[in-house]
Amino acid sequence: MYSEKVMDHFSNPRNVGEIEGASGVGTVGNAKCGDIMRIYLDIDENQIIRDCKFKTFGCGAAVATSSMATELVKGKSVQEAMEVTNKAVMEALDGLPPVKVHCSLLAEEAIHAALWDYAQKNGITIEGLQKPKSDIHEGEEDGEEY
Ligand code: FES
């Protein structure tokens, strides 16, 4: 039911971890399944994403999409990163089963939340970027392991 690429990114996820002093951090959750994803962005002075890491407490499809999403945004400008939609991530993974499409949304939302955090900190506007609905505030998840 999963493509080879999904299986590959699930069993061997890229860019797992955190970035200390990240330029932007976004944490989002899916209320339905309770899965949580956090994305860290390291952005240079030319607004190019130098590095990207993630932590996901969630299902296999969420792990695979976050892995692929981090690969896709690396090296892109913050504006170009807006094009890394859940659709783009799914295409890069050769598709996801319909019941797992919502998992890929988490990756898109987490990137947007991290970009929003970066934009807020630096007082810039990223075209098309809206305030994330589901960004989970730091501190609310104290004591949780993920
Ligand atoms: Fe929750 Fe996949 S089932 S993100």
CA of 118 from ligand 1 middle (Å) equals 26
Measuring CA to CA, how many Å separate 119 from each of 10, 22, 25, 67, 69? Answer: 30, 13, 11, 23, 19
Q: What pLDDT shows up at residue 137?
A: 56
- Active site (annotated) includes residue 52: no
What's the token pair of residue 63?
């792990």
What's the token pair of residue 92?
């890069």
Res. 53: pLDDT tops 90: yes
Residue whose Cα lies nearest atom 4 of ligand 1: it is: 103
Q: For 97, list phi and psi in degrees, rounded to 5.
A: -60, 145
Atom of ligand 1 nearest to the CA of 106: 4
Res. 141: pLDDT tops 80: no
CA of 44 from ligand 1 middle (Å) equals 32
Give the pLDDT confidence of 76-98 residue by residue, as tens digits.
999 999 999 999 999 999 999 99
In the sheet where 36-43 sits, what is the strand order?
A: 24-29, 36-43, 49-57
Atom of ligand 1 nearest to the CA of 33: 1
Res. 144: pLDDT tops 50: no
Q: Considering the entire predicted model, what is its pTM?
A: 0.89
Give the pLDDT confidence of 17-38 residue by residue, as tens digits.
999 999 999 999 988 889 999 9
Contact in structure between 120 and 11 (CB atoms under 8 Å): no
